[in-house]
């Protein structure tokens, strides 16, 4: 039995290392808590990757000071955060580290106070917090921990027991707060993941490490009966138009009383791929804009600008394509992309991808397949675009298997992959490109038309097996018997008022004639849009549509 009244930083780290192993056992089950009738849930995977990074950074700190170790773990969580669930989990760790500031060791009261801080920070980190998610589970768990500590049970084991108990009840209650969960008959996957982490920490503290090797975590059942409820799906309505080219504008701004957030807010609508970092005396700005003069004018009104650069990205992109075609000319960074279908492979190749790995839905490439593509790439710096949720994890294993410098941008669909490629800055370093390419994926909307793999009821839609279903940015919003009718339905719900370009990639099971008819009808209905129809040849999806 481990000493549990008061623990140091290294035992705190070991406790959550055991919790990460516990989470890994149930990550596939957490992924399966997916309210959509398509196999693309990845919450468990995202949380696991975030926790692995958390623990990895923690072990780099050999100090037994609890505050120091918690800070290292928080930094690791931030660096390794994946998906919404991973980002929220990283905010949990940031708050926990703040709550443990200046603590040599941790007792129950310290942990309860840190959990409260973690809840506050996690809520602040989400622009529109939703109840019935892992935020609620964290809030309920922290309240229970604080109540236990306040009632005189200040030992860590008692506090953690009440924390886990409250988390379990809160997870079971999530369907009462989120109708979409109640309709699907599942609990919130992020909440389940957080419960599993806390439960693993408790089991370690009880001295159950050996038993944990032969058991699996509990997947909590909903405490409400499944009843039909009409749900209105709300898709995003505000999207920035991605400007693929123009001038890559960078500079250092030096002055007094600078406000990076205010500068970022002002520049948000002046271009794309915006990055603003710094403090009140020095701010670095990176932005893709058609008018760098306007940006410079604004900056010089607040101070002096240094290390100024405004590069023509149209010329850079052409240079990049030429260098990729001529392998004798070295390139700083190569890009490896995953794509299903000959048409999509040609699209990515035309955009300068060094190697295209075959794969997609139901035909995920292995880590070895992706690694072979990386090794074929003509540079030591390689960016990987998975372009599918189910491939992200395999791609993220590659860095450990090669001596090359790898960056995985977790693109979850083809439109995001294309947007990332168009944002590539040939003259920028790899780190900057990874940032701007990842940012570019946020500025594109996607439509996917496929067929349901099972009958279900979701979002007020009665879906029969094999019916055509339409997803807008991952949310199912339409169902019809014919794929083209679903496409039209989803377009009516899409944010087209600010869009300029629609690219329709039609799949291997879709006739070219039908796709061209769809393209013509979209042009007639939306004359302000430039509509392109491309033979993607992708399996399973009749249409994949990019809205920019």
Domain ranges of the chain: 9-212, 247-314, 320-443, 447-547
Nearest one of 22, 94, 9, 88 to 52, comparing CA atoms: 22
Tokens of 429: 């370093």
Please provide the CATH number assigned to the domain covering 247-314: 3.30.70
pLDDT of residue 98: 95
Q: Which residues pair with 358 in a beta bridge?
A: 339
Nearest one of 425, 430, 377 to 402, comparing CA atoms: 377
- Provide the pairing of β-strand 355-358 with 468-472: unpaired
Q: What span, in angstroms and rounded, lies between the C-alpha atoms of 474 and 397? A: 25
pLDDT of residue 148: 93
Query: CATH for 320-443, among 3.40.50.510, 3.40.50.300, 3.10.20.90, 3.90.1200.10?
Result: 3.40.50.510
pLDDT of residue 161: 93
Q: Are 284 and 428 in contact (CB under 8 A)?
A: no
- Provide the pairing of β-strand 445-451 with 468-472: antiparallel
Q: What span, in angstroms and rounded, lies between the C-alpha atoms of 451 and 311? A: 45
Instruction: State pLDDT tens for residues 30-39.
Output: 887 765 444 3
Q: Are 459 and 231 in contact (CB under 8 A)?
A: yes
Quick one: three-class SS letters along 307-318? EEEEEEHHHHHH
Residue with the two structure tokens 């957490």: 30
Q: Which residues pair with 334 in a beta bridge?
A: 382
pLDDT of residue 80: 76
Q: What span, in angstroms and rounded, lies between the C-alpha atoms of 25 and 185? A: 22
Please provide the CATH number assigned to the domain covering 9-212: 1.25.40.340
Tokens of 299: 């900056």
Expressed in angstroms, the distance from the first to the final Cα of the chain is 58
pLDDT of residue 362: 57
Low-confidence ranges of the chain (pLDDT < 50): 1-2, 36-41, 225-244, 320, 323-330
Q: Which helix (H) or strand (E) holds 546?
A: strand 543-547
Left, alpha or beta for 131 (phi > 0: left; psi -120 to 50: alpha)? Answer: beta
Q: At 363, is the secondary structure helix, strand, or coil?
A: strand
DSSP 119-147: HHHHHHT-SS--TTSHHHHHHHHHHHHHH
Sign of torsion, CA 246 252 255 259?
positive
């Amino acid at each position: 039995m481990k000493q549990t009244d008061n623990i140091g930083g290294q035992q705190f780290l070991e406790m959550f290392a055991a919790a990460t192993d516990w989470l890994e056992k149930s990550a596939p089950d957490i992924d399966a808590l997916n309210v959509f009738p398509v196999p693309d849930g990845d919450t468990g995977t995202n949380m696991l990757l975030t926790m692995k990074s958390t623990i990895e950074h923690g072990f780099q700190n050999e100090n037994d000071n609890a505050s120091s170790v918690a800070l290292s773990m928080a930094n690791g969580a931030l660096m390794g955060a994946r998906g919404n669930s991973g980002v929220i989990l990283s905010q949990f760790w940031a708050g926990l580290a703040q709550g443990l500031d200046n603590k040599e060791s941790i007792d129950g009261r310290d942990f309860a106070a840190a959990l409260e801080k973690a809840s506050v920070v996690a809520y602040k980190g989400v622009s529109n917090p939703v109840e019935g998610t892992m935020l609620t589970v964290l809030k309920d768990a922290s309240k229970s921990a604080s109540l236990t500590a306040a009632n005189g049970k200040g030992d860590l084991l008692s506090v953690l027991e009440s924390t886990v108990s409250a988390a379990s009840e809160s997870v079971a209650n999530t369907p009462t707060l989120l109708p979409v969960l109640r309709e699907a008959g599942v609990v919130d996957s992020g909440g389940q993941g957080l419960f599993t982490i806390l439960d693993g920490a408790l089991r370690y503290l009880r001295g159950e490490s050996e038993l944990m090797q032969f058991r699996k975590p509990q997947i909590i059942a909903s405490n409400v009966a499944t009843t039909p409820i009409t749900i209105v799906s709300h898709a995003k309505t505000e999207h920035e138009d991605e400007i693929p080219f123009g001038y890559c504008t960078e500079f250092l701004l030096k002055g007094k009383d600078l406000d990076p957030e205010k500068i970022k807010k002002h520049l948000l609508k002046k271009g794309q791929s915006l990055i603003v970092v710094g403090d009140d005396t020095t701010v670095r700005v990176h932005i893709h804009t058609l008018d760098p003069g306007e940006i410079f004018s604004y900056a010089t009104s607040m101070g002096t600008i240094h290390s100024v650069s405004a590069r023509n990205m149209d010329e850079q992109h052409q240079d990049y394509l030429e260098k990729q075609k001529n392998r004798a000319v070295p390139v700083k960074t190569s890009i490896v992309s995953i794509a299903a279908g000959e048409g999509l492979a040609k699209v990515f190749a035309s955009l300068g991808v060094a190697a295209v790995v075959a794969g997609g839905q139901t035909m995920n490439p292995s880590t070895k397949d992706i690694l072979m593509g990386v090794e074929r790439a003509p540079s030591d710096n390689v960016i990987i675009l998975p372009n599918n949720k189910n491939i992200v994890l395999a791609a993220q294993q590659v860095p450990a298997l090669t001596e090359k410098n790898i960056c995985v941008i977790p693109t979850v669909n083809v439109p995001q992959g294309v947007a990332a490629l168009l944002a590539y800055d040939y003259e920028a370093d790899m780190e900057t490109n990874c940032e701007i390419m990842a940012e570019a994926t946020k500025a594109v909307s996607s439509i996917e038309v496929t067929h349901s793999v099972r009958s279900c009821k979701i979002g007020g839609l009665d879906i029969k097996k094999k019916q055509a279903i339409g997803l807008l940015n991952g949310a199912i919003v339409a169902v019809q018997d014919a794929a083209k009718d679903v496409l039209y339905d989803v377009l009516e719900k899409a944010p087209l008022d600010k869009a300029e370009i629609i690219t329709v990639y039609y799949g291997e099971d879709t006739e070219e004639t039908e796709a061209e008819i769809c393209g013509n009808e979209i042009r007639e209905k939306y004359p302000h849009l430039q509509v392109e129809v491309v033979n993607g040849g992708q399996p399973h999806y009749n249409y994949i549509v990019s809205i920019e």
